[in-house]
Amino acid sequence: MHKSVWEENFKLPHFESLSGEEKCDVLIIGGGICGILCAHLLQESGFSCIIAEGKRIASGTTGNTTAKITSQHGLIYTKLIRAYGREKAKMYLDINERAISEYERLGKGADCDFERRSAYTYSLSDREKIEDEVNAVNTLGHTAEFSQTEELPFKTSGAVAFKNQAQFNPLKFISHLAKKLKIYENTFIRDIAPDVAVSDSGKIRAHKIIVATHFPFINKHGSYFLKLYQHRSYVAAYENAQKISGMYVDDDKKGMSFRQYKNLLLVGGGGHRTGKQGGNWAELREFAKEHYPQAKLRYEWAAQDCMSLDGVPYIGRYSAKTPDLYVATGFNKWGMTSSMAAAMILRDELLDKKNDCAEVFSPQRSILKPQLLVNGFEATANLLTPTVKRCPHLGCALKWNKAERSWDCPCHGSRFEEDGTLIDNPATGDAKGDVKKVQNAKRQ
């Protein structure tokens, strides 16, 4: 098992599992950073809240993040202006900038290694798109600069620089907030009905329910199985590598990312759509061998991210037909900042308070985007693929992930141990199929 630098060096508090029946104003399903932030902000506003987490808090994507807090999400603002106009692009920027400040407020006294850093999105070969993004951001009232990337061990065509962004240790931060919250761990919610959620060991009745489970698991509403796919990315932490002061990411999905944490350089890359093949840790090792030959590998881990159709998260009502059910998902690799944005938007929604930025994130916006065709093709192709091992979510054929020794679903990103035990949602149960037959096939 690969553990992140956060998990290896910090232990979170434990919470008991649900037994019997509980009541609250708001139930949050999912104990990652999004669920924790939703509960904290709602509790600050006077709501009684319960978090139900299927495993341990922060045991999923949150524990495997690179923990950058930034409103710079690749070269997104040129795309948002083109797709939705300048006003909505500014809404997106404004809420994410407010999220950074909110992290700073909540992080005071938390000893969570919060520090302001500059963020850079670079391109290896296209200077023009970097310059276009700088101009786009400046038209929205935020200062972006064109920058060279002298700290990186290879040449680029330049980068968009956002100053005064941030990074932190997510588990230290969560531990600080979680102590004041009502949380049930090892409480896997199997089903939701109006005003009640059911686990194997009890029920929680609530006036409002927020699904913050990374990938939403309720298929009969919202069409999230069409609107989302999942992407895996890999991280390695090196000692004795060149230290950097900024946070860097390539605009290309297959590019590299970099940030410093104390004496460790965190290098990300090797990514691929879940269920597909990619460079994984082998790509990172080769990179380090070439560019940081004196560096020593200390940690390796992987993360999984929900990707929306248009690069914007889905935050708000789960569907038009579920007035008391809400969702936060599709953070597109920017889960730290997007989680805080989601918590602020959902808090205002439950307070019946207008949030000027909420409309850009509406889960009910149009799904007619090019990525929809890609998602539909992957689902159809894998539903029709004959194989012994099937995903219980919607029946897609599972693929063997040799690097991580897991069964992965290329349709929606559910993952399973070698014996079929569930690792990642949206599946809510173990994989189907004869394990012995599958393991024999895998060895061939």
Residues 76-122 pLDDT 10s: 999 999 999 999 999 999 999 999 999 999 998 889 999 999 999 99
At residue 237, does pLDDT exceed 80?
yes
Contact 115, 107 (CB under 8 A): no
Say which CATH topology domain 370-443 has.
Answer: Rieske Iron-sulfur Protein (2.102.10)
- The CB density around residue 21, as the number of other CB atoms within 10 Å, is 10
pTM score of the predicted model: 0.92
CA distance 210 to 192: 11
- pLDDT at position 395 is 85
Structure tokens at 309: 């159709």
| Intervals of CATH 2.102.10.10 along the chain | 370-443
Contact 419, 431 (CB under 8 A): no
- pLDDT at position 428 is 85
Q: Which CATH superfamily is domain 115-164+227-307 in?
A: D-Amino Acid Oxidase, subunit A, domain 2 (3.30.9.10)
Say which CATH topology domain 5-65+172-225+311-361 has.
Answer: FAD/NAD(P)-binding domain (3.50.50)
- Measured between its terminal Cα atoms, the distance across the chain in Å is 24
For 262-310, give the DSSP string: TTEEEEEEEEEETTS---HHHHHHHHHHHH-TT-EEEEEEEEEEEE-SS
Q: Per residue in 117-148, pLDDT tens?
A: 999 999 999 999 999 999 999 999 999 999 99
Angle at 77 (CA atoms; ends 367, 166), nearest 5 degrees:
110
At residue 434, does pLDDT exceed 60?
no
Radius of gyration for the chain, computed over Cα atoms and rounded to the nearest angstrom? 21
Three-state secondary structure call for residue 260: strand
Contact 86, 139 (CB under 8 A): yes
- pLDDT at position 355 is 92
CA distance 179 to 170: 15
Type of residue found at 1: M
Structure tokens at 195: 């005003």
Q: Per residue in 293-314, pLDDT tens?
A: 999 999 999 999 999 999 999 9
- The CB density around residue 55, as the number of other CB atoms within 10 Å, is 14
At residue 413, does pLDDT exceed 90?
no
Cα 49 to the chain's mean position, in Å? 22
CA distance 260 to 245: 7
- The CB density around residue 405, as the number of other CB atoms within 10 Å, is 11
Q: Tell me what the mean pLDDT of segment 279-292 comes to.
A: 95
| Intervals of CATH 3.50.50.60 along the chain | 5-65+172-225+311-361
Give 16: exposed, middle or buried? Use CB within 10 Å, 0-12, 13-18, 19+: exposed
Q: Per residue in 133-190, pLDDT tens?
A: 999 999 999 999 999 999 999 999 999 999 999 999 999 999 999 999 999 999 999 9
Q: Per residue in 322-359, pLDDT tens?
A: 999 999 999 999 999 999 999 999 999 999 999 999 99
- pLDDT at position 429 is 85
| Intervals of CATH 3.30.9.10 along the chain | 115-164+227-307
The mean predicted confidence, pLDDT, of the chain is: 92
Structure tokens at 111: 């000893």
Beta strands in 123-158 (DSSP E): 145-147
